[in-house]
């Protein structure tokens, strides 16, 4: 999957968010995220890797800060990081680095989704200039009187 495929996935398939997954089974959600982070850090040849406590804390922080993410998003952000899109890793990997590139990924993701929505609106004849045409014909003043 490529970043350009992401908006279609999010807008059409609407994968389950990690927040919703955690409400159903928090421990399983955290375990899956920790496994993804373990695999991620094993990809790099660095001296200082995160221990179990750091992995758990990072998973909690991602769940709190990026609760709208799905596991697809986490996987894509980690994949992009492996390819160096968010910078290089020297000597260590820690939670703040992961949170930083998740933030960069989130900005990129949001921009792609907004562009896709704008494109869809344009195809459906919904232009932001025509938003007033969609409102009720009755004004608030008329409704209250």
Which pLDDT tens digit goes with each residue over 91-142?
A: 788 899 999 999 999 999 899 888 888 888 888 876 555 554 445 555 666 6
- The pLDDT value recorded for residue 59 is 95
108/88 Cα distance (integer angstroms)? 18
Tokens at 21, concatenated: 């997954």
Q: Structural domain of residue 38, as residue ranges?
A: 3-144
For the chain, what is the mean pLDDT? Answer: 84
User: In whole angstroms, how far apart are CA 58 and each of 1, 16, 43, 63, 143?
Assistant: 25, 20, 18, 8, 51
Number of domains, the chain: 1
Tokens at 43, concatenated: 């990809």
Contact 44, 83 (CB under 8 A): no
Which pLDDT tens digit goes with each residue over 43-61?
A: 988 888 899 999 999 999 9
Q: What share of residues in the chain are helix, strand, coil (percent, to 5)?
A: 70, 5, 25
């Amino acid at each position: 999957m490529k970043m350009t495929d992401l908006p279609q996935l999010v807008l059409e398939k609407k994968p389950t968010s990690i927040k919703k997954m955690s409400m159903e089974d928090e421990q399983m959600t955290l375990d899956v995220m920790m496994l993804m982070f373990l695999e991620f850090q094993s990809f790099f040849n660095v001296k200082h890797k995160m221990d179990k406590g750091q992995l758990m804390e990072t998973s909690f922080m991602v769940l709190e800060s990026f609760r709208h993410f799905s596991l697809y998003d986490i996987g894509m952000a980690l994949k992009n990081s492996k390819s160096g899109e968010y910078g290089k890793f020297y000597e260590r990997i820690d939670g703040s680095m992961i949170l930083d590139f998740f933030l960069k990924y989130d900005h990129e993701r949001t921009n792609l989704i907004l562009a896709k929505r704008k494109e869809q609106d344009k195809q459906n004849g919904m232009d932001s200039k025509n938003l007033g045409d969609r409102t009720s014909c009755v004004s608030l003043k008329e409704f209250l009187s």
